[in-house]
Structure 1
Amino acid sequence: MRARASRRRRSQEHGSRDRWLITYADLITLLLIFFVMMFAMSRLDTAKYDDVTHALQNTFRSGDSILEMGSGLTGKTDVNTTRNPSSDTTNKGAEGTDTLSQRELAFRKQEQELQNLMGVIQKYVEDNNLQNQIFVADEPRGISITLSDRFLFDSGHAALKPGSAPTLAKLASLFRNLDTPVSIEGHTDNTPVGSGSTYRDNWDLSGARALSVLRFFIEREQLDPTHFQYAGYADTRPVGDNSTATGRQKNRRVEITVLRQLQQ
């Protein structure tokens, strides 16, 4: 009796130890099923795929676009009075293209005029030995013509020197046929104006000097005032070192810039 109970106990213990095999077998079976399903899903039915693709293509080709006032894919959205954009809309689009191309041509024409202008001014400066008084540069905003204050004004004054008239008249003749805005900007060094000066400060002096050049163009040379703008910047935009005499001389200037900008 005791021996039989001992055998039954050993049999139960052995069965308990082997129960993990059931779980392991279930896991392996599930993994096998999973990979079989993945393999089956990865096999593409080419014939069915082609059928679906052709069906979608035919549907979208035959349907009228709602954006073009059509009836849509279902044919039940036709609530508009016309099916396609009117001829007026098409013409407006064509006009927009024409306007864009005309503007591009205008920019190209202007660029050619600016390059010709720069060449003429450079030759004038060389022919008249004005290299130390007038500097010409092609900058991103336009053709910049920098005139030294010694060439244009007496120290601390904004009245133009008589000797500057021929050069300004030459520039005016070049500006006359240009359909391009011209900016005139006055600049000073950082030395304060004298106590006996008629100008309050360098802001007042730089603006007055730019205005004197502007008035020469529009009053004496009769250029169109709508093509011009002017400003005074005092010593806020130096090009030289204000701690040296040479740098201060570079900063006292008037810049005339023929802008890369079409008139409205």
Structure 2
Amino acid sequence: MSRRRRRRKDAPPHQQERWLITYADLLTLLLIFFVIMYGVSTIDAEKYEAVSSSLQTTFQSGTNILDGGPKIVGDNGQQLPGTKGNAQGGATDDEQQGQDEPTARELQFREQERQLASFLQTIQSYVADNGLADQIFVADKPQGISITLSDRFLFDVGRADLKEGATGILDRLAALFGTVDATISIEGHTDNQPITGGRYADNWELSGDRALSVLRYFIDARGLDPTQFQYAGYADTRPVGDNSTPQGRQQNRRVEITVLRQLQSDEAAAAQ
């Protein structure tokens, strides 16, 4: 016991006071902490009031900066550079009126959508009333209103001359095309069975000629404007059914007529 006490008395002074270093470090850290807290808690009252007032006005008005609503202002109430609107942060009367009024192009598209909706409803009613649901398929697709006609309804096997019974639906479509300001696309499609003999060398010629026959009926027999139409033949490159089955091949032999969601003026400009 005496030896242990003697060793503690004889310990070097610097070892006995090492706790003071840790204590001093702790005090320094506390001092830094309180200085930072004090700095954070100091707020520029004027800037805070300006920002708070601007945000409150924005939320109350129901608009935002991207929509041309009130803008944040500087310390002295001036409008920040690069923002629109008047000195009070809002849009001018002329700008606000321009934002509320649709452009002529927007009005054209709205009118076209109204016409397409009426067109779709009329065709669907015609198909249902005449029991043609198994031969005529109508769908509202992103590119436009699509009317798919089975080749059994339009043509004899291996031919592109219109059947006499096909003119009823074509006449109905022709009457409706005059009510729509849009381009009409006519596409011919076949299955993948090769053509042997006859007038056509392959399915490309047959599909193209079938689409052309429908187009010529609208233009020659019904007197529609040729600039409203376009046509193409795709042979068997765009199947909708399985060509390994009779049912699938029958689905692929078709003519698709699409009233496009595209203004005729836009298509004319793109073609130039």
- TM-score greater than 0.5 by the shorter chain: yes
SS in 2 for 1:241: coil
Provide the residue aligned with 2:229 in structure 1: 228
Provide the residue aligned with 1:73 in structure 2: none
Deviations 1:164-204, CA, capped at 9 Å, x for gaps: 2333222212212321111111111110111x233232122
Superposed, 1:1-264 pairs within 5 Å as 13-44=11-42, 49-51=44-46, 53=48, 59-61=75-77, 63=78, 67=82, 98-100=101-103, 102-194=104-196, 196-264=197-265
Q: How far apart, CA to CA, are the structure 2 residues paired with 1:150 and 1:13?
A: 112
Larger-Rg structure: 1
Moved more, 183-192 or 146-155: 146-155
Deviations 1:98-156, CA, capped at 9 Å, x for gaps: 453x4444334333322332333334334444333322233333222111112211211
Deviations 1:5-45, CA, capped at 9 Å, x for gaps: xx9x997743243252443343244234334434543543x
Moved more, 218-227 or 161-170: 161-170
SS in 2 for 1:230: strand
Which letter maps to 2:232?
A
Shift of 1:96: 7.6
SS in 1 for 2:12: helix
Which letter maps to 2:166?
S
Q: How far apart, CA to CA, are the structure 2 residues paired with 1:134 and 1:51?
A: 71
SS in 2 for 1:106: helix
Moved more, 171-180 or 133-142: 133-142
Which letter maps to 2:195?
V
In structure 2, the CA distance between the partners of 1:191 and 1:66, relative to structure 1 (3 Å rule), is same
Shift of 1:235: 1.5
Q: How far apart, CA to CA, are the structure 1 residues paired with 2:127 and 2:49?
A: 74
- Percent of pairs with identical residues: 50
Q: How far apart, CA to CA, are the structure 2 residues paired with 1:201 and 1:151?
A: 21
Unpaired stretches in structure 2, ≥5 consecutive residues: 1-5, 52-72, 85-92, 266-272
Shift of 1:66: 5.5
Aligned length: 234
Which letter maps to 1:229?
Q
Which letter maps to 1:254?
V
SS in 2 for 1:255: strand
Moved more, 129-138 or 143-152: 129-138
Shift of 1:242: 1.5
TM-score, normalised to structure 2, is 0.69
In structure 2, the CA distance between the partners of 1:68 and 1:251, relative to structure 1 (3 Å rule), is closer
